[in-house]
């Protein structure tokens, strides 16, 4: 909408004036304040029949406006559309929805059918998922999207106002004057102006404007307008056009939850306090005084959530906590597109109804026979937690990545928190020899020998209800926030937040028996925390090891040395010692110390060495030279060997002591610098070096 170019002028007055002009220009450009006659509006609609769409069509078009892209899914054997709308570019991703494209697509198919009038528009959408899944984010995203859509030309909506004399036309002109004289009085339900067309002529007229889906326009005006309309038409002797020309002005309007226009939310309070007027409105005492009767429809206050939502959307939070009496209102609104306010005529309603609930409530609902009618009238859409690591990590990065002002976030901090959350959600694989952690990695796209893409689909299929239980992102978000405000031992602010701080916070939560799951769950979650700690240790050990052995010259020397020895060995030759110039036997100890790093047994060493020489020979035939980097296994072997050699020369274990000589310190600084190149800061680089050193000091020689 408005561009964000910086305003640069010398003084505040000029800046204000410029800002104001830009704002009003943009409003004019998008014609937000458009007003016109009824005939002007008909002209607009004949050019763009979509202006008179129903609420479902509007919602569908709004989502499709941002486009889709077919993406490969790891969990089904076909591509799944990704709807860019749910990335929430509008708010920089603040309401982005990650990792449930498949479920969103199921929802979108239903929205599409509803928008075409296939029957789904007469059912309520019920998002079902565990606490803290994206249910309410989806509803928020739809609501915010509709609001923004109403501000652009594509999403324009129009309604009409009455001349106040027409609306407040009392027999006594003095009395009329007293109320709103000279003003325009808007339709309290912001009806489409086309609903002013006399019913018996309406269908033909709508068709002539090119409107094909007009069921929602074939209902009566809101009771207040209908009352005035009938009265005036009589006065004008049935001259519809004259009546409209003299009393009606058409206006564009925009949706807003804050202004209570077209976007509504209903959240049940405790049962005693539920009051049907919250949904369907009530007589206003003030209006009753004006109109002199509580049966005059103009005395009615059309401010129930349903009326507010007319032409837009209504969200029912925890819908199944709703008092049964209200469920009838919900049923009517869903099935008949009508609401029945207390003591007043039925009112037509055009709104998208989106409800959500969690599993325990839903199970009660399914068992309750009294709820059968509603059950038939809902489209259930499952919204599970995410089960892919990268996307889960994205949620936390989005939330906290920007808010850690000035603090560094150590590598793997978000990933380890996300990984733990995922492990709590995944079902133990039935596949023999596959750990839960490996299953998570498979889901995340990692190649594990022996598993095909098809296996991953099967793993997901066999795990019924996966993602419908476990720990919600909210739990992680809270613990990340807690870790963020953690102070050092001396009460100082910490410069860097690392995975251990977050895992410690999570451990604390698991001690509290009220916060997460059942006792049994918590025990399992705690065990999973240990799995994550191991995984983290492995990752940082690898990082440290890579940093130590990232010396390319040394690797190249080692590679050359090894190949020379292998060559001499396979050809039963001697090798020339570079220092002494003496002919010597190939260095068996060197070769074995490398081969052992990649588990080549003594009995296989001859084969292995021959394979290498064959490989080098084949390269030579092509005129190519051997490059160890092209061979993953050898690279790994050389790195591990180099690490083993170097970890002693830099006395990694001495890091746990306080006295370090200058030479060692220099070597450590080089390693730290390499870690810092890979996302560590000074603090966490030192931390992981000490951590890894302490592992080696304990005698854990496993270096991978």
Q: What is the DSSP letter of 498?
A: -
In the bound state with Zn ion, the residue whose beta carbon lies nearer, of 60 and 344, is 344
Q: Which one, of 91, 187, 131, lies nearest residue 317 by Cα?
A: 131
Q: How far is the CB of 409 from Zn ion (least distance, A)?
A: 7
Is the CB of residue 277 less than 8 Å from the CB of residue 58?
no
User: Could you tell me where the beta strands, DSSP code E, fall in 240-385?
Assistant: 248-253, 263-266, 282-283, 300-301, 313-316, 338-339, 347-348, 352-357, 378-382
Q: How far is the CB of 289 from Zn ion (least distance, A)?
A: 21
> Does residue number 684 form part of the binding site for Zn ion (CB under 5 A)?
yes
Phi, psi (degrees; rounded to nearest 5) at 226: -60, -40
Window 490-519: contact mask with Zn ion (x via CB under 5 A): ------x-----------------------
In the bound state with Zn ion, the residue whose beta carbon lies nearer, of 356 and 541, is 541
Q: Give the span between the Cα atoms of 372 and 457, in whole angstroms.
A: 35
In the bound state with Zn ion, the residue whose beta carbon lies nearer, of 187 and 250, is 187
Stretch that binds Zn ion, among 215-223, 350-358, 362-370, 431-439 (CB under 5 A): 215-223
In the bound state with Zn ion, the residue whose beta carbon lies nearer, of 99 and 297, is 297
Residue with tokens 């983290």: 536
What 3-state class would DSSP assign to 383? Answer: coil
Stretch that binds Zn ion, among 83-91, 322-330, 353-361, 408-416 (CB under 5 A): 408-416
Evaluated on CA atoms 437, 443, 446, 449, the torsion sign reads positive
Q: How far is the CB of 282 from Zn ion (least distance, A)?
A: 17
> Does residue number 299 form part of the binding site for Zn ion (CB under 5 A)?
no
> Does residue number 681 form part of the binding site for Zn ion (CB under 5 A)?
yes
Q: How far is the CB of 5 from Zn ion (least distance, A)?
A: 36
Of 51, 166, 225, 558, the residue at the interface with Zn ion (CB under 5 A) is 225
Helix 662-677 to helix 682-697 angle (10° resolution) is 120
Residue with tokens 């603040």: 94
First-residue to last-residue Cα distance in the chain? 53
In the bound state with Zn ion, the residue whose beta carbon lies nearer, of 85 and 167, is 167
Angle at 523 (CA atoms; ends 522, 524), nearest 5 degrees: 90
Is the CB of residue 23 less than 8 Å from the CB of residue 239?
no
Of 410, 418, 475, 703, the residue at the interface with Zn ion (CB under 5 A) is 410
Q: Which two tokens stand for residue 607?
A: 């084969």
Q: Give the span between the Cα atoms of 230 and 238, in whole angstroms.
A: 9
Is the CB of residue 563 less than 8 Å from the CB of residue 591?
no
Q: How far is the CB of 368 from Zn ion (least distance, A)?
A: 37
Stretch that binds Zn ion, among 148-156, 223-231, 292-300, 639-647 (CB under 5 A): 223-231
Q: How far is the CB of 408 from Zn ion (least distance, A)?
A: 4
Can you list the alpha helix ranges (DSSP code H) found in 218-294? 223-235, 240-247, 277-280, 285-291
In the bound state with Zn ion, the residue whose beta carbon lies nearer, of 114 and 189, is 189
Q: How many CB atoms lie within 10 A of CB 181?
A: 12
In the bound state with Zn ion, the residue whose beta carbon lies nearer, of 95 and 165, is 165
Q: Which two tokens stand for residue 160?
A: 């009409």
In the bound state with Zn ion, the residue whose beta carbon lies nearer, of 496 and 600, is 496
Q: Which two tokens stand for residue 578?
A: 């570079």
Q: How far is the CB of 687 from Zn ion (least distance, A)?
A: 8
Q: Give the span between the Cα atoms of 602 and 89, in whole angstroms.
A: 58
Give the containing element (helix H, strand E) for 417: helix 413-425
Produce one character per residue of 395-431: b if its CB has 16 or more CB atoms within 10 Å, e if not: bbbbbbeeeeeeebbbbbbbbbbbbbbbbbbbbebeb
Stretch that binds Zn ion, among 188-196, 390-398, 523-531, 696-704 (CB under 5 A): 188-196
In the bound state with Zn ion, the residue whose beta carbon lies nearer, of 187 and 475, is 187
Stretch that binds Zn ion, among 54-62, 143-151, 403-411, 506-514 (CB under 5 A): 403-411
Angle at 179 (CA atoms; ends 176, 183), nearest 5 degrees: 100
Give the containing element (helix H, strand E) for 83: strand 79-83
> Does residue number 408 form part of the binding site for Zn ion (CB under 5 A)?
yes
Give the containing element (helix H, strand E) for 36: strand 35-36
Q: Which of residues 638-667 bind Zn ion (CB under 5 A)?
A: none
| CA dihedral angle for residue 285, residue 287, residue 293, residue 296, rounded to 10 degrees | -130
> Does residue number 354 form part of the binding site for Zn ion (CB under 5 A)?
no
Is the CB of residue 442 less than 8 Å from the CB of residue 101?
no
Q: What is the DSSP letter of 6?
A: P
Stretch that binds Zn ion, among 141-149, 261-269, 542-550, 680-688 (CB under 5 A): 680-688
In the bound state with Zn ion, the residue whose beta carbon lies nearer, of 187 and 217, is 187
Of 100, 127, 222, 374, the residue at the interface with Zn ion (CB under 5 A) is 222
Q: Give the span between the Cα atoms of 193 and 479, in whole angstroms.
A: 52
Q: How far is the CB of 311 from Zn ion (least distance, A)?
A: 12
In the bound state with Zn ion, the residue whose beta carbon lies nearer, of 684 and 703, is 684
Residue with tokens 């925890």: 318
Is the CB of residue 439 less than 8 Å from the CB of residue 457?
no
In the bound state with Zn ion, the residue whose beta carbon lies nearer, of 546 and 598, is 546
Q: Which two tokens stand for residue 571?
A: 């050809």
Stretch that binds Zn ion, among 13-21, 180-188, 262-270, 458-466 (CB under 5 A): 180-188
In the bound state with Zn ion, the residue whose beta carbon lies nearer, of 42 and 684, is 684
Stretch that binds Zn ion, among 93-101, 216-224, 306-314, 344-352 (CB under 5 A): 216-224
Stretch that binds Zn ion, among 88-96, 222-230, 448-456, 567-575 (CB under 5 A): 222-230
Q: Which two tokens stand for residue 425?
A: 């959600």
Q: Give the span between the Cα atoms of 366 and 128, in whole angstroms.
A: 12
Stretch that binds Zn ion, among 211-219, 243-251, 368-376, 677-685 (CB under 5 A): 677-685
Q: How far is the CB of 561 from Zn ion (least distance, A)?
A: 37
> Does residue number 688 form part of the binding site for Zn ion (CB under 5 A)?
no
In the bound state with Zn ion, the residue whose beta carbon lies nearer, of 347 and 479, is 347
Q: How far is the CB of 640 from Zn ion (least distance, A)?
A: 26
Q: How far is the CB of 73 from Zn ion (least distance, A)?
A: 35
Of 42, 52, 62, 187, the residue at the interface with Zn ion (CB under 5 A) is 187
Q: Give the span between the Cα atoms of 516 and 194, in whole angstroms.
A: 54
Q: Which one, of 311, 350, 346, 312, lies nearest residue 329 by Cα?
A: 346
Residue with tokens 């804050």: 258
Stretch that binds Zn ion, among 21-29, 571-579, 601-609, 675-683 (CB under 5 A): 675-683
In the bound state with Zn ion, the residue whose beta carbon lies nearer, of 616 and 683, is 683
Q: How far is the CB of 170 from Zn ion (least distance, A)?
A: 19
Q: How far is the CB of 402 from Zn ion (least distance, A)?
A: 16
Is the CB of residue 364 less than 8 Å from the CB of residue 320?
yes
Q: How far is the CB of 188 from Zn ion (least distance, A)?
A: 6
Q: How far is the CB of 495 from Zn ion (least distance, A)?
A: 7
Q: Give the span between the Cα atoms of 193 and 187, in whole angstroms.
A: 9
Stretch that binds Zn ion, among 64-72, 247-255, 499-507, 673-681 (CB under 5 A): 673-681
Residue with tokens 């004057």: 177
In the bound state with Zn ion, the residue whose beta carbon lies nearer, of 406 and 699, is 406
In the bound state with Zn ion, the residue whose beta carbon lies nearer, of 220 and 644, is 220
Q: Which of residues 440-499 bind Zn ion (CB under 5 A)?
A: 496
What number of helices (H) and strands (E) belong to the chain? 29, 19
Q: How far is the CB of 646 from Zn ion (least distance, A)?
A: 24
In the bound state with Zn ion, the residue whose beta carbon lies nearer, of 318 and 682, is 682
Binding footprint of Zn ion on the chain (CB under 5 A): 187, 189, 191, 222, 225, 408, 410, 496, 681, 683-684
């Amino acid at each position: 909408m408005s561009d964000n170019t910086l305003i640069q002028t010398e003084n505040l007055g000029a800046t204000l004036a410029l800002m104001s002009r830009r704002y009003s220009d943009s409003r004019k450009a998008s014609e937000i304040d458009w007003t016109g006659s009824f005939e002007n509006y008909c002209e607009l609609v004949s050019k763009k029949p979509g202006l008179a769409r129903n609420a479902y069509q509007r919602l569908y078009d709004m989502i499709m406006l941002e486009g889709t892209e077919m993406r490969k899914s790891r969990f089904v054997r076909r591509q799944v559309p990704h709807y860019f709308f749910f990335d929430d570019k509008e708010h920089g991703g603040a309401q982005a929805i990650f990792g449930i494209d498949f479920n969103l697509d199921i929802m979108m198919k239903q929205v599409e059918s509803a928008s075409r009038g296939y029957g789904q528009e007469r059912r309520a959408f019920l998002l079902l998922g565990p606490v803290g899944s994206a249910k309410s984010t989806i509803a928020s995203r739809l609501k915010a999207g509709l609001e923004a859509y109403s501000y652009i030309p594509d999403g324009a909506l129009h309604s009409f106002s009455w001349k106040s004399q027409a609306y407040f036309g009392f027999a006594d002109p003095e009395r009329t004057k007293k109320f709103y004289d000279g003003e325009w009085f808007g339709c309290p339900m912001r009806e489409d102006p086309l609903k002013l067309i006399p019913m018996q002529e309406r269908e033909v007229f709508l068709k002539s404007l090119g409107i094909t889906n007009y069921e929602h326009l074939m209902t009566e005006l809101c009771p207040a307008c209908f009352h005035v309309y009938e009265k005036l038409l009589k006065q004008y002797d049935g001259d519809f056009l004259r009546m409209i020309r003299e009393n009606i002005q058409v206006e564009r309007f925009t949706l807003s939850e804050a202004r209570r226009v077209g976007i509504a939310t209903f959240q049940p309070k405790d049962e005693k306090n539920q009051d049907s007027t919250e949904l369907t409105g009530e007589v206003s005492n003030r209006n009753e005084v004006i109109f002199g009767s509580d049966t005059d429809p103009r005395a009615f206050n059309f401010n129930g959530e349903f009326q507010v939502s007319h032409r837009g959307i209504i969200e029912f939070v925890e819908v199944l906590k709703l008092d049964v009496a209200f469920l009838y209102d919900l049923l009517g609104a869903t099935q008949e597109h009508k609401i029945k306010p207390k003591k007043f005529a039925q009112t037509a309603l055009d709104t998208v109804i989106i409800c959500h609930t969690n599993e325990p409530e839903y199970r009660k609902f399914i068992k309750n026979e009294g709820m059968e009618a509603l059950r038939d009238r809902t489209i259930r859409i499952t919204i599970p937690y995410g089960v892919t690591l990268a996307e889960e990590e994205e949620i936390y990065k989005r939330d906290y990545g920007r808010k850690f002002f000035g603090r560094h976030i150590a590598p793997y901090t978000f990933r380890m928190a996300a990984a733990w959350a995922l492990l709590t959600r995944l079902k133990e694989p039935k596949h023999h020899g596959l750990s839960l952690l490996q299953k998570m990695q498979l889901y995340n796209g990692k190649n594990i020998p022996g598993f095909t893409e098809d296996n991953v689909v099967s793993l997901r299929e066999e795990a019924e209800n996966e993602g419908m239980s476990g720990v919600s992102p909210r739990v992680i978000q809270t613990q990340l926030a807690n870790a963020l405000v953690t102070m050092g031992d001396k009460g100082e602010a910490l410069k860097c937040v690392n995975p251990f701080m977050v895992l410690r916070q999570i451990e604390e939560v698991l001690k509290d028996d009220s916060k997460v799951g059942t006792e049994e769950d918590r025990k399992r979650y705690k065990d999973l925390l240990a799995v994550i700690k191991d995984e983290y240790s492995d990752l940082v050990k690898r990082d440290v090891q890579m940093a130590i052995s990232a010396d390319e010259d040394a690797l190249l020397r080692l590679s050359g040395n090894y190949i020379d020895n292998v060559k001499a060995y396979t050809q039963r030759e001697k090798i020339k010692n570079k220092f002494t110039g003496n002919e010597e036997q190939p260095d068996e100890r060197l070769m074995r110390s490398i081969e052992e790093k990649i588990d080549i047994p003594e009995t296989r060493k001859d084969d292995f060495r021959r394979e290498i020489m064959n490989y080098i020979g084949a390269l030579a035939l092509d005129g190519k030279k051997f490059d160890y980097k092209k061979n993953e296994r050898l690279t790994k072997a050389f790195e591990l060997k180099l690490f083993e050699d170097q970890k002693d020369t830099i006395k990694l274990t001495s890091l746990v002591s306080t006295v370090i000589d200058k030479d060692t310190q220099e070597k450590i600084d080089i390693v730290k610098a390499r870690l810092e190149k890979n996302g560590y800061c000074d603090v966490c680089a030192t931390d992981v070096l000490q951590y890894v050193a302490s592992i080696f000091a304990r005698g854990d020689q496993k270096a991978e």
